[in-house]
Structure 1
Amino acid sequence: MKRMLLFLLLCQALPAFAQKGYPVPTEDVSRLFYIQHSNNHNTFVYDANMAGKKLNTADPVSVYRLCYTKGKTGLKEELSGIQRKMAYGITLTSAEAASCTFTLAAYPAKKIAVHLDKNGRPYAAVHVNGKNIVLKKMFLLVNKSGTNVVHIDFYGKDAATGKDVVERFYVKD
């Protein structure tokens, strides 16, 4: 009975993690995941660069932002130099035709892997709080100036069960 009550409470709490009013980028077969943060609705997008049915090993991940501030409605823009070097840019650690691994500039300790599924479709995987997650989205709770991340919510599917999952990761200074 206690487990059932706990389960029901968790089911009701998970929607509280969701961000209301944030845009959702249109689906794309090459979309790996996207990142949003608490200071505005701009969205940072990570897509796989494919060469036929394989990853482009020279440049396997494309990163850009969709701008939703100042009256813009999802205008695609390149990352600024500061965004690329300090926050949303990537450092590739390995690249092969069927997989690659990279880290984000803001948190190089967390590795993200890209793989191809049995149909050749790319997906991103990350290990958070003891779980392997097929990543769809991250949401960053940041301070007002945008210089410090309090926590990251990872949204996706549990790789073992296929069930939707949200894992909160607290960033330590």
Structure 2
Amino acid sequence: MKLLLLFVCFISIQICKSQTNYPTPDKKGNHLFYIQHSDNHNTFMYDAVMDGKNISEKNPINIYRILYNENAEVKPLTMIQNSMAYGINFKKIDDNFFEFSLKGQKTLKLYLAFNNQQKPAVFLTVNGNKIYLEKMFIQLKNSGLKPSADYILLTGKDFETGKNVSEKVKI
């Protein structure tokens, strides 16, 4: 039992340590969530694209990056980032309701819809908990030329209670 407790404490410390001194981007307009990873502080932003009062059917999410390592310059994704990692595949389920996944993590299903306040939001179910997603942190492994994810830490609000939650998904 003591060994299990020690292991849990060690993992918790590593998760917290892996995200120290990361910037928190401004959340403007129709901001949905953002992604950061363990290689650097650059941040990938995901914003809902509106067509009047509806979520755009052709391109529901605008994705861009903030290069904090380069004076917080805002740039579009590179072709490789868009096609292999941070871009999305989406399909319309219903009016203002979309299912999507990141191109680098196709098994994690995310949903874009309006929340109770009639604002666009992303939600998912992970480890049995339904949450509104606010951020992802990807812990990368050094495995040569092609980086791969060790785990993803998903942070947001519990769908029913509104309490802050974090869920870890091992890759």
Q: TM-score range by the shorter chain?
A: 0.7 to 0.9
SS at match of 1:111: strand
Cα distance, 1:77 vs structure 2: 0.6
Show the counterpart of 1:113: 111
**Closer, same or farther: CA 17–75 of 1 in aligned 2, 3 Å:** same
Show the counterpart of 1:3: none
For 1:39-58, what aligned pairs fall within 5 Å after superposition?
A: 39-58=39-58
- 1: CA distance between counterparts of 2:118 and 2:82? 28
Show the counterpart of 1:80: 78
Unaligned runs of 5+ in 2: none
Amino acid at match of 2:139: L
- 2: CA distance between counterparts of 1:68 and 1:20? 14
Q: Are 1:136 and 2:134 an aligned pair?
A: yes
Cα distance, 1:127 vs structure 2: 1.2
Q: List 4+ stretches of structure 1 deviating above 4 A.
A: none
Q: What is the TM-score when the length of structure 1 is the normalising length?
A: 0.84
For 1:1-173, what aligned pairs fall within 5 Å after superposition?
A: 16=16, 19-69=19-69, 72-94=70-92, 96-144=94-142, 147-171=147-171
Cα distance, 1:20 vs structure 2: 1.4
**Closer, same or farther: CA 146–165 of 1 in aligned 2, 3 Å:** farther
* Contact 2:18/2:38 (8 A) holds in 1: no
TM-superposition CA deviations, 1:55-78 (whole Å, max 9, x none): 011110111111112xx2221111
Amino acid at match of 1:52: G
RMSD, aligned α-carbons: 2.2
SS at match of 1:28: coil
Amino acid at match of 2:136: M
Identity %: 35
SS at match of 1:123: strand
SS at match of 1:77: strand
Unaligned runs of 5+ in 1: 1-5
Aligned pair count reads 160
Cα distance, 1:85 vs structure 2: 0.9
